[in-house]
Amino acid sequence: MVTTDKSSCNILADLLIAHGIRNVVFSPGSRNAPLVMALSRREELKCDVVIDERSAAFIALGMSLQSGKPVAVCCTSGTALLNYAPAVAEAFYRQVPVVVISADRPEEWIDQDDSQTLWQQDALAPYVKRRCDIAAHLNFENGEWVCNRLVNDLLLEAVNGRRGPVHINIRLDAPLNHQREFQPDMSRVVRMVSPSTELPTAEARRLGEKLAPPKKILIIVGFHEPDERLNRALVKLARRPNVAVMTETIANLHSPLFVSRIDSTLCRLSDEEKERLAPDVVITAGGALVSRFVKGWLRSLPEVEHWHVGVSHTTIDCFKHLTLRVEMAPAVFLRQLASAMQIFDTPSDYGKEWQLAAARAVTDHDKYVDRCQWSDMKAFSYIVSRIPPRWNLHLSNGTPVRYAQLMDCSHIHRSDCNRGVSGIDGCTSTALGASAVYNDTTLLITGDMSCQYDIAALSSTLVSKRFKMIVICNGGGGIFRFIPSTAALPELEKCFAVGTRLPLKDLAAGYGFAYYEAHDLTELKAAFAAFAANYIEPAILAVFTPPYESAEVLKQYFQPV
Ligand SMILES: Cc1ncc(C[n+]2csc(CCOP(=O)(O)OP(=O)(O)O)c2C)c(N)n1
Ligand SMILES: [Mg+2]
């Protein structure tokens, strides 16, 4: 085939394909022209173009999240790369394999007043698993070998062990548009086999014994991709009488045995119940927890052992009680624990008590939501209950992810939120990326502030009829009217909540989205039905809720009864 004359770019194209990468998101520039030629001319790679690099990287994150495969993003030199940082940080803490490819100038031109040039090779250093810098000319001894070795190494690193982003900085010298004949698929590919991840039986038994009744065991799972094996292991554990299993909405785990509405349940416990339900051992899996209640409560306990299971980049001692770090897949570890615990027959009410507390919370929740006035709570409750079975749900940070925690989400196919670092900067792009590689509808529920942050996403050519978004227009950052650190400050409205000007109707018209809006529950019912039934265009539903009342309804929800 005829393609760029830069060997580094052609080696990269071969290895991306060999390592299973199928999607590349480009942002335009001139320095990366050889990369565009090398990658976009390969039919194995689906290349999309997203102008804004910040959005592009979040789109790649969404694609990778949804497909489970590494996705590459490729940009030109200069600040382009720096715009990847928020999404790359999110991918790092979320363990999502995004392969960052940046074009750069030859090193001798950095700091020499040459245009669009800055120190790129370490720019994302704390947030990538590994990085490499490929020289502009490979015509030195071992030049092509070292390029091949480094790229193989980084692509293996992205998907093995703790998955995550990697950064390949490729220096390219002018002329950038020269072409030559290249024989594809001849580059050497390095593979890897993972060692067995099972615990030795004796070790599993030893750990299982530590969890025997009357010990009270609480398992909590934070964000996680859907995982049938993990779900099964947790159901087994939840059947043990001295075990309770808590799952967050974005853990994507479901069983009537799980306490899935953590905040609703915790906020209704009396001090005496909290003391009785305090665990002896808490086992966590998945990512950072959304629930501040559970974090605060566990941190406040004087004595509890904490085991964290999962492939981590470092020691994570979230509750200040960590005693064991289990560096393996949660599904395997928890299955082994469940088997090891089967021999205990001492009775315990611990699991039952949590389930009763959770059931009580559900009854109270339903009564409260039924009675409460038109607000974010009312709107969310209606919307979440109506999400059809095959739709995937993306939640933005702010209150959307917190409201979802309060609702029954067991019917939702898959729920996600950027909780790796909890930014509001790329929620729309992430959802858009996920929708581009999912064959049914992806629904984003976002806030009016988060939405204006990432508005460039609406102009992307990746927008399709499978993408829908609901914007809760509650006068800006509603969360700030709720959280104690800002709610009572005189600067609340001017500096925190900051009502935004978001001309959604015009934006929808401009970007080719169908537009619906609702100002009360009756309108919402009609608008949601039409919005959900629209399978021919992408659609926006703007839901207008009263700012102060919404915050009040949420505050009251958490008041002790
Ligand atoms: C990049 C980034 N900047 C700032 C924040 C802090 N922040 C968290 S939530 C929020 C407001 C979100 O407002 P909105 O999207 O309207 O949601 P609401 O709180 O109204 O539900 C802000 C500014 C953040 N998380 N990420
Ligand atoms: Mg808002």
The residue whose CB lies within 8 Å of the most ligand 1 atoms, and thus the one to mutate among 88, 427, 450, is 450
267 CA → ligand 2 middle, Å: 24
What tens digit of pLDDT does each residue of 44-59 get?
A: 999 999 999 999 999 9
pLDDT score of 130: 97
Best CA proximity match to 559, nearest among 422, 372, 410, 407:
372
pLDDT band at 345 (very low <50, low <70, confident <90, very high): confident
424 CA → ligand 1 middle, Å: 5
pLDDT at 434 over 80: yes
Q: Yes or no: say if 288 and 421 are a contact pair by the CB < 8 Å rule.
A: no
How many angstroms separate the CA atoms of 365 and 436, rounded?
35
Burial class of residue 461 in the structure, from the number of CB atoms within 10 Å of its CB (0-12 exposed, 13-18 middle, 19+ buried): exposed
Question: For residue 250, how far is the Cα from the chain centroid?
Answer: 9
Q: Please give the residue that has the higher pLDDT: either 320 or 554.
A: 554
pLDDT band at 198 (very low <50, low <70, confident <90, very high): confident
What tens digit of pLDDT does each residue of 163-190 get?
A: 999 999 999 999 999 999 999 999 999 8
Query: What percent of the chain lies above the pLDDT cut of 90?
Result: 92
Phi first, then psi, for residue 345 (nearest 5°) are: -125, 15
- Measured from CB, residues less than 6 Å from any atom of ligand 1 are 396-400, 422-425, 447-450, 474, 476-479
Mean pLDDT score, 255-265? 97
pLDDT score of 113: 82
Give SS3 for 389.
Answer: coil
Q: Which ligand is nearest to the CA of 452?
A: 1
Closest atom of ligand 1 to CA, residue 424: 26
Phi first, then psi, for residue 394 (nearest 5°) are: -110, 135
Closest atom of ligand 1 to CA, residue 453: 1
Q: For ligand 1, atom 14, which residue shows the shortest CA distance?
A: 447
Q: Yes or no: say if 62 and 434 are a contact pair by the CB < 8 Å rule.
A: yes
Mean pLDDT score, 208-237? 97
pLDDT at 26 over 90: yes
pLDDT band at 550 (very low <50, low <70, confident <90, very high): very high
pLDDT score of 194: 60
pLDDT score of 115: 82
pLDDT band at 105 (very low <50, low <70, confident <90, very high): very high
pLDDT score of 380: 98
Q: For ligand 1, atom 9, which residue shows the shortest CA distance?
A: 398
Residue spans of beta strands (DSSP E) within 474-548: 514-518, 539-544
Q: For ligand 1, atom 8, which residue shows the shortest CA distance?
A: 398
The residue whose CB lies within 8 Å of the most ligand 1 atoms, and thus the one to mutate among 430, 449, 453, 493, is 449
Give SS3 for 48.
Answer: strand
pLDDT score of 521: 98
pLDDT at 383 over 90: yes
Q: Which residue has the tokens 């009312």?
A: 378
* C-beta neighbour count of 224 within 10 angstroms: 21
pLDDT band at 197 (very low <50, low <70, confident <90, very high): confident
pLDDT score of 116: 86
Mean pLDDT (the chain, rounded): 95
pLDDT at 15 over 60: yes
Closest atom of ligand 1 to CA, residue 399: 21
pLDDT at 554 over 80: yes
Q: Yes or no: say if 460 and 434 are a contact pair by the CB < 8 Å rule.
A: no
Mean pLDDT score, 354-361? 98
Closest atom of ligand 1 to CA, residue 446: 15
pLDDT score of 193: 74
User: Residue 320 — left, alpha, or beta (φ > 0 → left; ψ -120 to 50 → alpha)?
Assistant: left
Quick one: tokens of 287? 């990512």
Among the residues of 301-375, which ranges form H helices? 330-341, 350-371
Mean pLDDT score, 279-298? 97
pLDDT score of 561: 64
What tens digit of pLDDT does each residue of 453-509 get?
A: 999 899 999 999 999 999 999 999 999 999 999 999 999 999 999 987 899 999 999
pLDDT score of 192: 83
pLDDT band at 196 (very low <50, low <70, confident <90, very high): low
The three-point CA angle 467-521-364 to 5° equals 100
Q: For ligand 1, atom 25, which residue shows the shortest CA distance?
A: 423
Cα dihedral 141, 147, 149, 150, rounded to 10, equals 130
